[in-house]
Amino acid sequence: MLESLLRGDLRLFLHINGQWHNGVLDVIMPMLREPFMWAPLYLFLALFVTINYGWKGLFWIAFFLITFGVSDQASLFLKEYIGRLRPCRDPIVSHYTRVLVVYCPRSGSFTSNHAANHFALAMFCFLTLKSSFGRYTWLFFLWAAAISYAQVYVGVHYPLDVTGGGVMGAFFGFLSGSFFKRRIKLELKPELTT
């Protein structure tokens, strides 16, 4: 069963990376996975929570960073433990891989840190900011999914890597977000509710 799952994973990777591409996505996808691309979003969230929630906003930022750190370290541990080669490093698969980044990391492939970290943050934001952003809160998951897809598109991860990372990250985000909601909970400052 594992062998058939890995075969399907490779097939899907070859479709995403080698067939389902175009010139516009070839420019967008490598940028999509870069941290500098999302710096304005992180700055906006930090300002939003501190302006609207005062000192609780600072706790939110701390939990946001802790959620990121825990998911990142858990993913690094799994990479080391499992030791799956990245498609851009595999001696056979690399011949069929379009690598759209300047550097193929030497670390393992499963799980994807990008997917783990962004799904952890997406779940945390979804749970803690739902009262502020309402029906638009699901866009955090779209953001995480786009970054995860970009990891496969540029040739540094298999679909199973980003799926595993996404599930694990969402789990950590759920734990962190649920704890934050129970213990701290964001409430608008009195002057903003009138």
The C-alpha atoms of residue 110 and residue 129 are separated, in whole angstroms, by: 30
The C-alpha atoms of residue 179 and residue 84 are separated, in whole angstroms, by: 33
Spell out the residues 6+ positions from residue 154 whose beta carbon is closer than 8 angstroms to its own. 17, 29, 30, 33, 99, 100, 101
The C-alpha atoms of residue 66 and residue 30 are separated, in whole angstroms, by: 26
Please, are residues 184 and 56 in contact by the beta-carbon 8 Å criterion? yes
Q: Where are the domains of the chain?
A: 30-186
DSSP 40-72: HHHHHHHHHHHHHHTHHHHHHHHHHHHHHHHHH
Q: Digits of tens for pLDDT over the chain (194 positions)?
A: 888 898 999 999 999 998 988 999 999 999 999 888 999 999 999 999 999 998 899 999 999 999 999 999 999 999 999 989 999 999 999 889 999 998 888 899 999 999 999 999 999 999 999 988 889 999 999 999 999 999 999 999 999 999 999 999 999 999 999 999 998 877 765 554 44
The C-alpha atoms of residue 33 and residue 75 are separated, in whole angstroms, by: 17
Please, are residues 32 and 148 in contact by the beta-carbon 8 Å criterion? no
Please, are residues 190 and 140 in contact by the beta-carbon 8 Å criterion? no
Polymer length in residues for the chain:
194
